[in-house]
A and B are shown apart, each in its own frame.
Chain A
Amino acid sequence: MMEHADALLPIDVPPPRPARRLAAVAIALMILGAALCALALRNQHDRSCFAVGWLWAFCFVVSISLGSLFFLALHYLTHSIWSVVVKRVADMLAASLWLTPVLFIPVALFVLFPNRFDLFPWLGDHGDHEIHVRREYLNAPFFLARGAACVLLWSAFAWHFVRRSVRQDRADAAKSLASLLRMRAVSAPFMLVFAVTLTAASVDWLMSLEPNWISTMFGVYIFAGFTVTGLATLALATVWLRATGRLPRSLVSDGRLYSFGGLMFAFVSFWGYIAFSQYMLTWYANLPEESFYMVERAGGRWLGVSVALALVRFAIPFLVLLPRRAKMSPRLLVATSLLLIGGQLLDLYWLIARPYHSAGPAIGWQEVGPLLFCVGLLGLFVAWFVSRYPMVAAGDPMMEMSRRFRET
Chain B
Amino acid sequence: MTRGDSILAPAPLIDGRLSPRQLDDDIYRPLESFPTFRWWIAISITGSLAGLFAFCLYFTVSRGIGMWGNNQPVGWAFDITNFVFWIGIGHAGTLISAILYVLRQTWRTSISRFSEAMTLFAVFIALQFPLFHTGRPWQAVFWLIPFPNDMSVYQNFRSPLEWDVFAVGTYGLVSLMFWYTGLLPDLATARDRARSSLARFLYGLASLGWSGSARAWRHYEKAYILFAGLATALVISVHSVVSFDFAVAVLHGWHSTIFPPYFVAGAIFSGFAMVASLVLILRKMFRLQHIVTLSHVELMNKIIIATSLMVAYAYAMEVFMSWYSGFGPEWFQTVTRATGPYAWAYWTTIACNIVAPQFLWLRRVRRSPWLTYPIVIAVNVGMWLERFVIIVVGLHRDSLPSSWGMFFPTWVDIGLLAGSFGVFLTLVLLFCRFLPTVASTELKAVTAER
Contacts and interface: CB of A to CB of B under 8 A. Distances in A.
Q: How big is chain B's contact interface, by range?
A: 35 or more
A273 interface: yes
Contacts of B8: 79, 177, 180, 397-398, 401
A79 B261 CA distance: 25
Nearest to A408: B104
A199 interface: yes
Contact of B240 (A79, A277, A408): A277
Contact of B4 (A81, A134, A274, A397): A397
Interface string B1-24: 011110111100000000000000
Contacts of A269: 233
Contacts of A287: 250, 255
Main secondary structure of the interface of A (DSSP, over half): helix
Contacts of A284: 248
Nearest to B99: A266
A289 interface: yes
B4 A177 contact: yes
Contact of A220 (B250, B255, B258): B258
Contacts of B450: 3
Interface stretch (A7-15, A102-110, A209-217, A328-336): A209-217
A217 B258 contact: yes
Interface stretch (B76-84, B198-206, B276-284, B323-331): B323-331
A1 B106 contact: yes
A216 B257 CA distance: 6
Contacts of A398: 8
A215 B449 contact: no
Nearest to B326: A132
B248 A285 contact: yes
A216 B309 contact: no
B9 A401 contact: yes
Interface in B229-269: 233, 236, 240, 244, 247-250, 255-261
A216 B321 contact: yes
A289 B252 CA distance: 13
B313 interface: yes
B324 A203 contact: yes
A306 interface: no
A79 B10 CA distance: 9
Contacts of A176: 4
Contact of A277 (B260, B317, B326): B260
B318 interface: yes
Given A398-B8, A401-B8, A274 B324 contact: no
Contacts of B321: 214-216
B293 to A, nearest CB: 17
Contacts of A177: 3-4, 7-8
A25 interface: no
A335 to B, nearest CB: 23
B248 A216 contact: no
A238 to B, nearest CB: 20
Contacts of B250: 285-287
A3 B244 CA distance: 45
A137 B255 contact: no
Contacts of A203: 324
A251 to B, nearest CB: 18
A130 B201 CA distance: 76
Interface in B205-233: 233
Contacts of A219: 313, 317
Contact of A216 (B7, B240, B256): B256
Contacts of B259: 277, 281
A199 B313 CA distance: 10
Contacts of A2: 449
Given A282-B257, A287-B255, A134 B326 contact: yes
A281 B244 contact: yes
A285 B256 CA distance: 10
A219 B326 CA distance: 19
A312 to B, nearest CB: 21
B255 A281 contact: yes
Given A277-B240, A285-B250, A1 B449 contact: yes
B326 A133 contact: yes
Contacts of B233: 269
Nearest to A224: B261
Contact of B248 (A132, A188, A215, A281): A281
28 contacts: A134-B324, A137-B324, A177-B3, A177-B4, A177-B8, A181-B7, A192-B309, A199-B313, A215-B321, A216-B256, A220-B261, A269-B233, A273-B236, A273-B260, A274-B261, A281-B247, A281-B248, A281-B256, A281-B257, A281-B259, A282-B257, A284-B248, A285-B248, A287-B250, A287-B255, A397-B4, A397-B8, A408-B104
Question: Shortest 3 CB-CB distances between A and B: which pairs?
Answer: A217-B257, A216-B258, A277-B260
Given A217-B261, A398-B8, A408-B104, 18 more contacts: A2-B449, A81-B10, A133-B324, A134-B323, A134-B324, A173-B4, A188-B361, A195-B313, A199-B313, A216-B257, A216-B258, A216-B317, A217-B258, A220-B258, A277-B240, A282-B257, A285-B249, A401-B8
